[in-house]
Homo-oligomer: A and B are copies of this chain.
Amino acid sequence: MKKISDSTIHRLSKYLHTLETLEKNNIQTISSEKIAKIEQITSANFRKDLSFFGSFGRRGLGYNVSSLKIQIQNILGLNRSWNIALIGIGNLGTALIDYNELKRRDLHVRCIFDKNPQKIGKKIKGLEVLDIKRLPEEIKKQIIQIGIITTPAPAAQHIADMLMDAGIRAILNFAPKTLAAREGAMIRTEDTTTPLQTLTYYLSHTKPATK
């Protein structure tokens, strides 16, 4: 299959959310022009993104909101449920366990791990914190497909390796450190401080608008 750019996938995920909102507001049809305005992109960009996967609109009429929503769900692999293991039970990890936006998309945190003996055995939001040593067996037992790393940076690569050893091919890493992925595996690093730094950069290099 042709390689699709990361930006396209990123935007598809946004379109999906917008379509869900439109559907909730009982809007049945939408043109590329209108959705582009909401997304703050050009309509050609929207149409081109979709064109990589097929043609989903009707010329002269636009797109059917509900059916396009389902099509994008299918493209993104959201037409099924996914099981997640989360490693590192700090503030962020705890927040993610029952994050509603995940559940809504049928993305479920099934097991949680930490290496701190003080935390192991405790129940958090209905899940028992397991010893990190039990990761390989639990990944298999619970049929986990995705790992989320919310440990401090120094531990992150080791955890990623454990996950990949256990057959995990998709990892979301919140530790602020680029991790090495094996052949056939994908690791996405999302550092919360990075977007803030683009903001401090912006503030430092621009002046307030004068009106």
Q: Which residues of A contact B (CB under 8 A)?
A: 1, 6, 9-10, 12-14, 16-18, 21, 38-40, 75-78, 82, 90-92, 94-96, 98-99, 101-102, 105, 107, 145-146, 153, 167, 169-172, 176-178, 180, 182-186, 188, 190-206, 208-209
Q: Could you pull out 27 A-B pairs where Cβ atoms are within 8 angstroms?
A: A13-B193, A14-B176, A17-B191, A40-B178, A76-B201, A76-B204, A77-B197, A91-B94, A91-B96, A91-B98, A94-B95, A96-B192, A99-B192, A101-B192, A101-B193, A102-B196, A105-B193, A105-B196, A107-B196, A170-B199, A170-B203, A171-B199, A172-B199, A184-B208, A186-B198, A186-B202, A190-B190
* Known contacts A13-B198, A21-B153, A172-B199: A77-B40 contact under CB 8 Å: no
